[in-house]
Structure 1
């Protein structure tokens, strides 16, 4: 699915989300990624929901966003509460949805100037 959003200077925008690929600022990614509102997209180690550990969310705790939009892949699945413990303890909101919905939501929130990060599982 192509997503159309104007890119404000320095703001990350997701332009397309397909099964197995997400395009951010014109660059296609085929592995899981973390997307801050500004700055470089970061590779993210977990390839699937079963791979998630609390340590995978440590960069997000350190960044202290208002909210994390978690994309669980092609279907909505929720991460185990134990892996989100540090985010919840830091009072960082987490919204879980399928990756396509997470891409759309990230664009809306970043367009509003919110401090949002996307944590996207991108699998084939």
Structure 2
């Protein structure tokens, strides 16, 4: 409101114009708030996706470590059996040597199967 010399107050804008401007200001504030909320939601979604990828990667790494551990345990078991067979074949007759060679071939096949199962 502006006061004139004659004492009358005048407004540079009509009531209708003031209402339109107030509505525009309100709409702009609402639009900016919606944009802000959309950005925050996008950031939250991105973080959730990143966390999911990290969890999947951790799970994959744990599975690989478990497979390696199982393969190592299987190999250790085969080695123990191999050592036991060596001891037994040393105590046996000459026929035991043939059996020992066959057992080594069998052992190699078993190791190969276990490895394929672990990796496969």
| TM-score interval, normalised by the smaller of the two chains | under 0.3
Higher helix share: 2
Q: Normalization by structure 2: what TM-score?
A: 0.21
Larger RCO, structure (CA 8 Å, separation 6 or more): 1
Q: Normalization by structure 1: what TM-score?
A: 0.21
Larger radius of gyration: 2
Higher strand share: 1
